[in-house]
Amino acid sequence: MWRTGSTIRAEGIDTYEFLFDDRLQGLTFLYSVFTHMFSGDAARYLSEFSPVMRPGGCVLASMFIMDRGLIPYLQSNGGEGRRALTFPHAVEEGVFHNDANLVSGAIAYSLDRIGAMVRSASLVPERFVRGRWRKDGEFDVNVHDLVILRKPAF
């Protein structure tokens, strides 16, 4: 999503408002945005996509996705030296923080949590691609995981 001269109004993150014409955006790309947002902020941001996207439009976003099998692996292997991404701090249900002393540090979400936020924003989770930070990464170009979301065509 890009438009010359456009802005995001940010009096507070809970009042973010994308100033784009409704239903015109076909692709929204976010890199390392959700990796630094807590759930309330991320949910608010996600809720802004659907109104400005055309039906069938796509969101491609990088983030860290935690699943139950990954937690013990990361804790026992220290994140394999990749910035020690172990996400040991459960902030709330399905939300994990990598460093409790660094507020803007890395945030990870469970698949259930991100799925609920996405559906609440009237989007559909289409694909999840594991990044190279994980033991089972399939996307060696990017450290983060990638999620592909779509606005329903109807």
- The total of other beta-carbon atoms located within 10 Å of residue 150's CB is 17
- Report pLDDT for 4: 44
Domain-located, residue 114: yes
59 located within any domain:
yes
pLDDT at 15: 57
133, part of any domain: yes
Domain CATH for 68: 3.40.50.150
* Cα distance between residue 25 and residue 70, in whole Å: 35
DSSP one-letter code for 80: G
Residue 93 lies in a domain: yes
- pTM: predicted TM-score of the whole model, two decimal places: 0.79
Report yes or no on 109 lying in a domain.
Answer: yes
What is the pLDDT at residue 104?
A: 72
Task: Give the CA angle between residues 112, 118, 122 to the nearest 5°.
Answer: 140
Per-residue pLDDT tens, the chain, 154 aa: give them. 334 444 444 445 555 565 555 556 778 888 888 898 888 889 988 988 888 888 999 999 999 998 877 877 777 776 554 457 888 888 899 999 988 888 778 999 999 999 999 999 999 999 988 888 877 766 666 788 999 999 998 7
pLDDT at 8: 41
pLDDT given at position 142: 72
Give the pLDDT confidence score for residue 3 in this predicted structure. Answer: 40
In a domain, residue 14? The reply is: no
Give the DSSP H/E element, type plus range, for residue 120: helix 111-120
**Structural domain that includes position 85:** 28-150
Q: Return the structure tokens found at 138.
A: 């399939």
Q: What is the reported pLDDT for 67?
A: 80
Query: Per-residue DSSP letters for 34-64?
Result: GGG--HHHHHHHHHTHHHHEEEEEEEEEEEE
Q: How many domains does the chain have?
A: 1
Helix, strand, coil fractions of the chain, as percent rounded to 5: 25, 30, 40
Asked if residue 128 is part of any domain, the answer here is: yes
Query: Which residue(s) pair with 125 in the sheet?
Result: 149
Domain for residue 39, yes or no? yes
What contacts 61, CB < 8 A, 6 or more positions away?
28, 29, 30, 31, 33, 34, 146, 147, 149
